[in-house]
Chain A
Amino acid sequence: MTSPTKSLFVQDERVKRRNAAEKRFHSYGLCAIGVAALALVVLLASVLANGASAFRQTYLMLEIPLPAETLDKGGDRDPAAMASVSTFGYAPLLRDALVASIAKLNIETTLSNKDVGDMISKEAAASLRNQVLANPDLVGGVIALDVLANGRIDGFFKGRVTMESAERDGNTSPEALRVAQLLADVGVLVTRFNWQFLTAPDASDQRPEAAGLGVAILGSLYMMLVVLVLALPIGVAAAIYLEEFAPKNRVSDLIEVNISNLAAVPSIVYGILGLAIFINFLGLRQSSPLVGGLVLTLMTLPTIIIATRAALKAVPPSIRDAALGLGATKMQSVFHHVLPLAAPGILTGTIIGLAQALGETAPLLLIGMVAFVRDYPAAYSETAGLFGEAATALPVQVFNWTQRADPGFVERASGAIITLLVFLAVMNTVAVLLRRRFERRW
């Protein structure tokens, strides 16, 4: 030993510097976690702030007289005749009802009747018409209805539209907003919780107030069904073969590498595959949940295969040996013993795979889901076959809405994202709970 013994109680310079470096390093790590946490908080806060208001909507509570002279000229409630009255016939009824309401409340205003009519959403006439056609006996009486207010009025009560911006806006005016405020003070105009957001179909560009997720949710549901029915059996079957039966040679090695590659392929490539093969080559229908489901199945398959293989690997060999020792065939040992024990892991993996598929957008854009779909798709139809009617999906609807000019759609898109995140949160929580409840530690 060459150096003199130093006391342990004295920290020399070098140790002090090393400890300072240690503290700095520690803080870098903490910072990194902080950055991630901050990003998450800001993301969720911004989505929530923009989208929470989508679940509330502004309505006008009106009493609308339904004169038989205009709506049912024949007088015999003939559906065909009544259907010939278009929304142009109904819009004035709404307008007049609002004008009457304003007059009854003694509100003085410089708005013309047309301007008053503009305060009502253009969508409202269509929904009134649908109601009357469904229930012809309403004609001749008065109907009390919550009528959708137009997007700018709605925006005013949500803070998006102000008196200043109304000056420059072509779709509304400060006077209209003033009248709306007066109506709200009396209770004729209310802003309340809006289920329609989740059930109504999409609306056109000028009517963000009427746009809803009904079609998108239905479309996503159909696609998830297709994925579940196809990807789960095929994925589990493939995983069982690869894990239990396939001989360990170059071919099965190749298949393994292949599957891990497929898991890492960008999702847009699957979209190209769907377009080229399912739509062009096989001639399936564009924008149908069937094609969307098929594309998502191919995307989810590697995830399910990998999760199932992991679950199968986790079952100890002693179980298989015990079954074989009793004279069971290999297949019996797998299906009667190993598979039930691996089931929780398989289920968890499937749910996670489905959750990933639910959020996918890019491949669906390529198979034509960018179009504007107004009708609820039926699960089966004569012309289109199973899941063949044009539909859209939740994330695609979000994308659609971001491409529209009206700023009211930002709120809609954010609200749709909140819905999507809620679905995903539920699915992931179920997966985690399942895993905790059923997982066995060998």
Chain B
Amino acid sequence: MWVVELFSSLPGLLAVLALFGLLGSQVRVHRAAKGDLRSLAALPRAHGINAVLSVLVPAAICFVGLSLVKLIGPRLNTAALPDYVVYWTVLTVAVLGCVVAILRSTVNFRARQASEVWIKSLLIAASVVAILTTVGIVLSMLFEAMHFFQQYAWQDFFFSTDWAPNFRGDSSLGFLPLLWGTFYVSFIALALAVPVGLFAAIYLSEYAGPWMRGIAKPLIEILAGIPTIVYGLFALVTVGPLLRDYFAQPLGLGGSASSVMTAGVVMGIMLIPFVSSLSDDAINAVPQTMRDGSYALGATRSETVRKVILPAALPGIMGAVLLAASRAIGETMIVVLGAGAAAQMSLNPFEAMTTITVKIVSQLTGDTDFASPETLVAFALGLTLFAFTLALNAVALLVVRKYREQYE
């Protein structure tokens, strides 16, 4: 019968135990109070809640822990943990929790504080997830990258200019062409996004009237909310052919629609709102008294912006540029669709070049064997990418903190 099945399954039993604890603890404390609820350190309901938490929280932690062990088992070539071990361990823990909670339900037991301890431990567990994520990111890439470097010399990886993976086993996996492509695309993107974004921010905070602000700000926010796959398609279908037909071919610079210029221009458009909103914050943080002082001395608005506001907001703006650079380096879809897969180092921006992120995708979604250096190189690339973006973010944070003017 499904009722029996439900109740003999783990969730069913835990629910029953929790209910038992809820009622049992309240009954016990009612009896101990001998009719006078005011003598209790905590209301019966608090005892009940504590009991429920005592059953469920340890059981949940136990279940998650043992499931992980079960999942990992086959990977580490140890015997798999049988299901019934998990079942009975969790059940035992839950029963213990129930019994202990009921026993503790005395007159002087501060049940409210006890249940808050459980809840706090859940909150802490949630915070730990954030740390675990970072640890996970670093570890996941570190181990596989180490496997890679065991099979391929790090000097060849970091200093070779030849990227040519193949199935024969004698691939050259040089990092430099990818680095070149990444930096070139990011450079073009920033060359577009920083002036446009900065001037847009200056205009909106210093010159624009309320109705202009009411139109332009949402417009820029819309640009910010567009997913990168849309920009990627835009690069592939519209910008690429346009640049090829009107610039690259007439100038004799190449015939490829996928190029550094294509990806760079589209990435620049994507970064405009990023630079603009961060610069806007930095500019608005400059107090109005600075502007008043400058105007009172007879400066025009542009002079005030150039000589007073921008120097004062410079740390924030530098931070914005660095963060935008970090975003540009880590961007994937725009370059996958816009820049092409040819790993080469050339000065011609209308040629197809590739970046670190494109190769991570291509090496991890190909058909090669997972343990081969051609696949493992993706982890080394990922680790390098992570290190770069981390460094840029750290420098951005430092610059803003160290040089920010203390106005008060």
**Direct interface between A and B, CB < 8 A:** yes
Distance A270 CA – B134 CA, assembled complex (angstroms): 10
- Given the known inter-chain contacts A36-B272, A39-B272, please indicate yes or no for A268 contacting B229, CB distance below 8 A: no
Q: List residues of chain B with CB within 8 A of the CB of A156.
A: none
Distance A150 CA – B208 CA, assembled complex (angstroms): 53
Q: Is the CB–CB distance between A245 and B120 below 8 Å?
A: yes
Q: Is the CB–CB distance between B200 and A283 below 8 Å?
A: no
9 closest A-B pairs by beta carbon, nearest first, are A266-B330, A359-B227, A29-B203, A276-B140, A237-B126, A25-B302, A32-B199, A241-B123, A362-B332
Q: Is the CB–CB distance between A240 and B203 below 8 Å?
A: no
Distance A305 CA – B137 CA, assembled complex (angstroms): 19
- Given the known inter-chain contacts A33-B204, A268-B361, A421-B230, please indicate yes or no for A240 contacting B382, CB distance below 8 A: no
Q: Is the CB–CB distance between A36 and B123 below 8 Å?
A: no
Distance A280 CA – B238 CA, assembled complex (angstroms): 39
Q: Is the CB–CB distance between A258 and B332 below 8 Å?
A: no
Distance A28 CA – B130 CA, assembled complex (angstroms): 43
Residue in B195, B197, B198, B237 whose CB lies within 8 Å of A414: B237
- Given the known inter-chain contacts A240-B123, A246-B127, please indicate yes or no for A261 contacting B390, CB distance below 8 A: yes
Q: Is the CB–CB distance between A238 and B123 below 8 Å?
A: yes
Residue of A nearest to B331 (CB): A266
Q: List residues of chain A with CB within 8 A of the CB of B220.
A: 36
Q: Is the CB–CB distance between A268 and B332 below 8 Å?
A: yes
Binds B, one of A43-51, A61-69, A73-81: A43-51
| Residue B61 lies at the interface, judged by CB distance under 8 Å to chain A | no
Q: Is the CB–CB distance between A39 and B332 below 8 Å?
A: no
Shortest CB-to-CB span from B259 to chain A, Å, is 17
Distance A356 CA – B347 CA, assembled complex (angstroms): 35
If over half of B's interface residues share one DSSP class (helix, strand or loop), that class is named, otherwise mixed; here it is helix
| Beyond A395-B333, A402-B233, 8 additional pairs, beta carbon < 8 A | A33-B203, A36-B272, A240-B123, A264-B323, A331-B116, A362-B357, A366-B365, A420-B227
Q: List residues of chain B with CB within 8 A of the CB of A238.
A: 123, 126-127, 129-130
Question: Can you show 14 pairs from A to B with CB atoms below 8 A apart?
Answer: A26-B203, A29-B204, A32-B198, A255-B131, A268-B385, A277-B136, A280-B370, A302-B130, A361-B227, A361-B232, A362-B228, A362-B357, A417-B230, A424-B225
Shortest CB-to-CB span from B279 to chain A, Å, is 11
Distance A73 CA – B82 CA, assembled complex (angstroms): 52
Q: How many residues of chain B get a CB closer than 8 Å to chain A's CBs?
A: 92
| Residue B222 lies at the interface, judged by CB distance under 8 Å to chain A | yes
- Kindly identify, within residues 412 to 433 of chain A, every residue whose CB is under 8 Å from any CB belonging to chain B: 413-414, 417, 420-421, 424, 428
Distance A50 CA – B236 CA, assembled complex (angstroms): 12
| Residue A310 lies at the interface, judged by CB distance under 8 Å to chain B | no
Interface bits B200-224 vs A (CB < 8 Å: 1, else 0): 1011101100001000100110110
Q: Is the CB–CB distance between A424 and B227 below 8 Å?
A: yes
Residue of A nearest to B389 (CB): A266
Q: Is the CB–CB distance between A266 and B124 below 8 Å?
A: no
| Residue B38 lies at the interface, judged by CB distance under 8 Å to chain A | no
Distance A281 CA – B302 CA, assembled complex (angstroms): 58
Question: Tally of A-B residue pairs with Cβ under 8 A?
Answer: 252
| Residue B168 lies at the interface, judged by CB distance under 8 Å to chain A | no
Q: Is the CB–CB distance between B130 and A26 below 8 Å?
A: no
| Residue B226 lies at the interface, judged by CB distance under 8 Å to chain A | yes
| Residue A275 lies at the interface, judged by CB distance under 8 Å to chain B | yes
Shortest CB-to-CB span from B90 to chain A, Å, is 19
Interface residues on A, range: 35 or more
Q: Is the CB–CB distance between B120 and A29 below 8 Å?
A: no
| Residue A131 lies at the interface, judged by CB distance under 8 Å to chain B | no
Distance A239 CA – B237 CA, assembled complex (angstroms): 42
- Given the known inter-chain contacts A22-B302, A36-B272, please indicate yes or no for A267 contacting B202, CB distance below 8 A: no
Shortest CB-to-CB span from A211 to chain B, Å, is 15
Q: Is the CB–CB distance between B131 and A31 below 8 Å?
A: no
Residue of B nearest to A276 (CB): B140
| Residue B103 lies at the interface, judged by CB distance under 8 Å to chain A | no
Binds A, one of B22-30, B68-76, B159-167, B288-296: B68-76
| Residue A398 lies at the interface, judged by CB distance under 8 Å to chain B | yes
| Residue B63 lies at the interface, judged by CB distance under 8 Å to chain A | no
